[in-house]
């Protein structure tokens, strides 16, 4: 019991949605500057509509600074009921699993639902690392399909962001645009 005689409330549940950018083109530019391909420009709004269907009201979106992730977000966000605060984060580009976990632990505690728009292999590795448990067949589908462009995973975690680490989450959903 706390000093006020009231038992503490249950640990706060949070959701992390990990969205891989849509299909990119391969023009003669640096990898960071690669734009979306035609298929990516079609798939990104579909991913946005599917994100809206989850009913998650994002408090914050962290987006890689790469052109393809920014274009994915620009097309997907128009499908959401409201635009969350967006931070373009350089550290998401070419981030390792450790980098991604460190970034999650820096999330402000007033954020309950976080969207991360990034790249593979990081998005897949992070979803897999966080998922200590799973609902339904989400993990089997993610394992079977990999983490193709425009795919996203929804993971719930409990407690403060600073405690996010391997195995603390529950994989709630996994979606690809070609399901």
Over residues 95-132, the pLDDT tens digits come to 999 999 999 999 999 999 999 999 999 999 999 999 99
Please give the positions annotated as active site: 21, 94
Binding site, by residue number, is 68
Q: Collapsing DSSP states into helix, strand and coil, what is residue 6?
A: coil
Q: Per-residue confidence at 11, pLDDT binned at 50, 70, 90? A: low
d(CA 86, CA 124): 22
The closest of 14, 40, 11 to 25, measured between CA atoms, is 40
d(CA 131, CA 139): 8
Is 3.40.50.1240 the CATH classification of the domain at 21-175? yes
Binding site for substrate, by residue number, is 68
Phi, psi (5° rounding) for residue 67? -55, -45
- The strand pairing partners of 117, in sequence order, are 19, 63
Q: Per-residue confidence at 155, pLDDT binned at 50, 70, 90? A: very high
Average pLDDT value over all residues in the chain:
93
Q: Per-residue confidence at 178, pLDDT binned at 50, 70, 90? A: confident
């Amino acid at each position: 019991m706390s000093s006020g005689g009231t038992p503490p409330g249950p640990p706060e549940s949070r959701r992390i949605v990990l969205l891989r950018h849509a299909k990119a083109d391969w023009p003669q530019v640096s990898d960071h500057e690669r734009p979306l391909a035609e298929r990516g420009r079609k798939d990104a709004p579909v991913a946005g509509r599917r994100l809206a269907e989850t009913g998650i009201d994002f408090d914050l979106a962290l987006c890689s600074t790469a052109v393809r992730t920014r274009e994915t977000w620009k097309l997907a966000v128009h499908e959401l009921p409201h635009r969350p605060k967006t931070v373009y984060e350089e550290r998401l580009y070419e981030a390792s699993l450790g980098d991604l976990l460190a970034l999650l632990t820096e999330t402000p505690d007033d954020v309950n639902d976080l969207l991360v728009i990034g790249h593979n292999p990081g998005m897949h590795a992070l979803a897999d690392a966080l998922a200590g448990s799973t609902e339904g067949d989400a993990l089997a589908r993610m394992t079977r399909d990999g983490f193709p462009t425009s795919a996203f995973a929804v993971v719930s975690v409990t407690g403060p962001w600073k405690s996010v680490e391997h195995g603390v989450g529950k994989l709630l959903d996994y979606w690809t645009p070609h399901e």
